[in-house]
Amino acid sequence: MKLAIKNLTKSYGEKEVLKDINFTFEEGKIYGLIGRNGAGKTTFFNCLNEDVEIDRGEFILSDNYGENELRTEDIGYVISTPTVPEFLTGKEFLTFFLEINKDNIKEEKTIDEYFDLVKINKEDQDKLLKEYSHGMKNKMQMLINFIANPKVLLLDEPLTSLDIVVQEEMKQLLKNMKKDHILIFSTHILELALDLCDEIVILNNKKLELVEKKNLNTKKYKDKIIASLKDEENDK
C-alpha cells in the first residue's frame, strides 16, 4: 500500500505554507516528519484529514487492488492534546467504541486484552476519564486508533509531553502497528524521531524532503538535518 501526495499546495491568505508537495509514503514504515515549530507540520496533517481546504493537490491511496482517493475513513489522527469524553469511565468509553465499531473490527479482543495493550491497570479502568493523567488519556487515544485500524495513521507530537516510561510503551505499540499501515509521526525533537522512525522526512521551505538514512545515528547525518532546518529559518 502506498499514499501518494500530488502537487499539494496550501496558503493562508498571502502566506504560503505548503507548495507543490509531491511525496509517496509506503506501508510498513514509521515516517518521522521533522520541522521547526511553525513549519507547517500540523497544516500538512490537517490537509490530509480534510480539516482545512487545500488550494491544490490530491491524495491517492493505492494497493494491489488499484488506486482510490484518500478518504477520511482511511485516516486515524492522534493529536498532542488528547480529547476524550471525560464524563465516561475508561471501560465505558472503550465498551461504547467497540459497540459502534463492531462491524469493522476483524479480530475483536476482550476489554482486558485491549487495556493490557496500553498498560492501563484494572483499578484505573473504572475511573472517569477526567481523572486520567495526560499520558493515560493519550494511551486511550492511541488505543482507539489501534482498534479502528486505519490505513493511514497521523501522529502530531503525540509523545512530547509524556514521561519516559509512557513514551517507551507508546513507541512499542506504534512499532507493532506499522505492519500493513502507513504511520506518519510529526515531531520537532530529532532524537525522538531517530529512535522511533524508519524514515526521516523534513518539511523544509514548504516541501517534503526524504533525508538519506544510511548512517542514521552519525553526527554527519544529524548535522545535515539541523543544517536543513537552519536554512529554512534563514530563508524566512
The whole-number pLDDT of residue 236 equals 45
With cut-offs at 50, 70 and 90, classify the pLDDT of residue 169: confident
Q: Position of cell 509523545?
A: 159
- Is the pLDDT at 23 greater than 90? The verdict is yes
Higher pLDDT, 215 or 201: 201
Give φ, ψ of 193 to 5 degrees. -65, -40
Contact of 33 with 201, CB cutoff 8 Å: yes
Structurally, the chain folds into a number of domains equal to: 1
With cut-offs at 50, 70 and 90, classify the pLDDT of residue 228: low
Establish how many alpha carbons lie within 13 A of residue 214's alpha carbon, considering only the half-sphere containing its beta carbon: 2
Cα 2 from Cα 95, distance rounded (Å): 32
- Is the pLDDT at 234 greater than 50? The verdict is no
The reply to whether 93 falls in a domain is no
Residues in the chain: 236
The reply to whether 172 falls in a domain is yes
Query: How many CB atoms lie under 10 A from the CB of residue 120?
Result: 21
Segment 29-43 shows an average pLDDT of 87
140: Cβ contacts below 8 Å, ≥ 6 apart = 82, 84, 90, 93, 94, 118, 120, 129, 132
Give the least confident one: 39-43, 168-172, 214-218.
214-218
**Mean pLDDT score across all residues of the chain:** 86
Domain span at 57:
2-83+151-218+226-235
- Is the pLDDT at 12 greater than 90? The verdict is yes
Q: Tell me if residue 14 falls in helix, strand or coil.
A: coil
- Is the pLDDT at 232 greater than 80? The verdict is no
Cα 7 from Cα 59, distance rounded (Å): 9
Cα 163 from Cα 36, distance rounded (Å): 22
The pTM of this model reads 0.85
Residue 174: burial class (beta carbons within 10 Å; 0-12, 13-18, 19+): buried
- Summarised one tens digit per residue, pLDDT across range 98-120 is 998 888 787 788 999 999 888 89
The reply to whether 122 falls in a domain is no
The reply to whether 38 falls in a domain is yes
**In what helix (H) or strand (E) does residue 90 lie, and over which residues does it extend?**
helix 90-100
- Summarised one tens digit per residue, pLDDT across range 50-92 is 999 999 999 999 988 889 999 988 999 988 788 889 999 999 9
Cα 179 from Cα 27, distance rounded (Å): 7
CATH code at position 24:
3.40.50.300
The reply to whether 210 falls in a domain is yes
The reply to whether 90 falls in a domain is no
The reply to whether 155 falls in a domain is yes
The reply to whether 24 falls in a domain is yes
- Is the pLDDT at 215 greater than 60? The verdict is no
